[in-house]
Structure 1
Amino acid sequence: MTYERSDISAVPAEGPTVPSSGRRSRWNKVPEVTVYFWVIKVLCTTVGETAADLLNEKAGLGLTGVSVLMSALLAVVLVAQFRTRSYRAGVYWLAVALISVVGTLISDNLTDNLGVPLETSTAVFAVLLTIVFAVWYRRERTLSIHHIDTTGRESFYWLAVLSTFALGTAAGDLVSERMALGYWLSAVLFALAIGAVAVAHFRLGLNAVWSFWIAYILTRPLGASIGDYLSQPTGDGGLGLGTVVTSVLFLAVILGLVVYLVVTRKDVTERKADAPQAA
């Protein structure tokens, strides 16, 4: 789905979006929502699933050790992201890829190490995401991704992104494993759900902000289902490509697309710091 700025920022009953916290940046810190955005997002979620499995199998650190390592790497990249003055495709998408891995590991730790049922973890992550959105809106009066131009808004944005990845992982595992649909049928189901959101937005007038975030959540289990289908053994319902081949293949495509965006700047939006902001 591609949203126009005038659509995505149109949240009913919002007041002026004067930031209540954080310093003001000159440019928006996140990319324009284009077809490139959605393609890379799905690819990152696929890599998050396969890379988490690969690291857990090959690193020899155990699930907890891998989780600590990847969380530390994510923290370093997020520091770099927050220190940039504007959107930088390489730093941004590296952060998204690492969040995809960490979100998967968080869900896996709850399920495998702590024995938390997928139904429970899905509900908990849904509640956490709702809290993030509620606090974000209460403080900033907008959830628009076209106004991620302060430290406060960027903090809420990345908290929401992490929550969506954890929620999408748990929900995707619940559908594909507990409901016994299998990886391929699960991917089709989530793709149809995203299509329904697009129809609801473009044809039925579903609010653009909520359309975006619902689709954003659904791309996580979509990408995970695709990753599992490609990487898992044929006896388990997959194609048997393995986590190494699948991860490398998708990482190469992500790298190519990000380099293209760095060169062309097709997903960059600029807005002056003192320009009035639409509700």
Structure 2
Amino acid sequence: MNTTTGQTLSKVPEVTLLFWIIKIAATTLGETGGDAVSMSMHLGYLVATGIFAAVFALAVVAQIKARKFHPSLYWVTIITTTTVGTTLADFSDRSLGIGYAGGSALLLTLLLGSLFVWHRTLGSVSVNTVSSPKAEMFYWVTIMFSQTLGTALGDWTADTAGLGYTGAAAVFSVLLALVVAAYFWTQVSRTLLFWAAFILTRPLGAVVGDFLDKPLSAGGLALSRYSASAALFAFIVISIVVFRQRAAATAH
């Protein structure tokens, strides 16, 4: 494998438009898939969280042990973070009774704490530095917290704030557009913008997922959670197969 001087290739993908398209689809799948297991299968949030947490742990171990970037393995791991994030956020918000605001505050604290420890330990939280097992561990733990926070934010905006699914989707779409504008027309830290976009795509996917499978009376389309999940999964698979993804170059 050819690399430029002073660089190696990481096991995370290059951040391109395709990355963000698949990321949004994966977060939407996380919502419909998580709800399918916890609600449609009547397993409850705690049991569903335990199942997805176990799958997430196995996927992370496989990702860390891999010798090079494998798009399918990477995106399977991302999907596991979105599903466990969905059920964990629902368990925190509803079963523990702390509400969407309390759950969001708790998860934001965990996310910021993860980023702080990561930065203090390795000196950077940029995805361009994810080239060692320790960095990968911080990367995946941070992503899991961000996915869970995103679910809580999406539910809070759509339900507690009363914006509904389409209104919440519009809010997060505008916020993402502002991040894109900052990327092209300002000198704001690219690392900060990446994590802002990464976090915001999760509540966008969460409210879109809810819009697809929630009852008509609640403002949704009442689609089957299983069929919606299958369609989203098929879209992700086709995107991975048809469009080639490269590993991100990691500078040292």
TM-score (norm 1): 0.84
Alignment correspondent of 2:52: 70
Task: Give the CA deviation at 1:198.
Answer: 1.2
| Offset from partner CA, 1:207-231 (integer Å, 9 cap, x none) | 1000000010000000111111122
Task: Give the CA deviation at 1:270.
Answer: 4.9
| Counterpart amino acid of residue 92 in structure 1 | Y
SS of 2:247's partner is coil
SS of 1:33's partner is coil
Task: Give the CA deviation at 1:26.
Answer: 5.4
For the 8 Å contact 1:33–1:267, the answer to whether it is kept is: no
Alignment correspondent of 1:21: none
For the 8 Å contact 1:82–1:151, the answer to whether it is kept is: yes
> Does 2:220 correspond to 1:267?
no
After superposing the two structures, state which structure 1 stretch, 234-243 or 59-68, moved more: 59-68
Partner of residue 117 from structure 1, selected from 95, 99, 107: 99
| Greater strand content | 2
| Counterpart amino acid of residue 149 in structure 1 | S
| Counterpart amino acid of residue 246 in structure 2 | D
| Greater helix content | 2
For residues 67 and 129 of structure 1, the distance between their equivalents in structure 2, rounded to whole angstroms, comes to 18
For the 8 Å contact 1:26–1:86, the answer to whether it is kept is: no
> Does 2:142 correspond to 1:160?
yes
| Counterpart amino acid of residue 222 in structure 1 | L
Task: Give the CA deviation at 1:109.
Answer: 0.8
> Does 2:72 correspond to 1:90?
yes
Alignment correspondent of 1:234: 216
> Does 2:112 correspond to 1:136?
no
SS of 1:103's partner is helix
1:61/1:241 CA distance change after superposition, 3 Å: closer
Task: Give the CA deviation at 1:188.
Answer: 0.9
Q: Which runs of 5+ in 1 are unaligned?
A: 1-24
For residues 196 and 270 of structure 1, the distance between their equivalents in structure 2, rounded to whole angstroms, comes to 26
Partner of residue 215 from structure 1, selected from 197, 213, 216: 197
SS of 1:30's partner is strand
| CA RMSD in angstroms, aligned pairs only | 1.7
SS of 1:269's partner is strand
> Does 2:56 correspond to 1:59?
no
Partner of residue 206 from structure 1, selected from 188, 192, 200: 188
| Counterpart amino acid of residue 99 in structure 1 | T
Alignment correspondent of 2:133: 151
For the 8 Å contact 1:186–1:225, the answer to whether it is kept is: yes
For the 8 Å contact 1:59–1:66, the answer to whether it is kept is: no
Q: Which runs of 5+ in 2 are unaligned?
A: 1-6
After superposing the two structures, state which structure 1 stretch, 213-222 or 196-205, moved more: 196-205
1:171/1:258 CA distance change after superposition, 3 Å: same
| Counterpart amino acid of residue 33 in structure 1 | V
| Counterpart amino acid of residue 72 in structure 1 | A
| Counterpart amino acid of residue 224 in structure 2 | G
Task: Give the CA deviation at 1:269.
Answer: 3.4
Alignment correspondent of 1:107: 89
1:179/1:60 CA distance change after superposition, 3 Å: closer
Task: Give the CA deviation at 1:94.
Answer: 0.2
For residues 120 and 45 of structure 2, the distance between their equivalents in structure 1, rounded to whole angstroms, comes to 36
1:163/1:255 CA distance change after superposition, 3 Å: same
Aligned residues: 247
| Counterpart amino acid of residue 259 in structure 1 | V
| Counterpart amino acid of residue 44 in structure 2 | G
TM-score (norm 2): 0.93
Question: Sequence identity of aligned pairs in percent?
Answer: 33
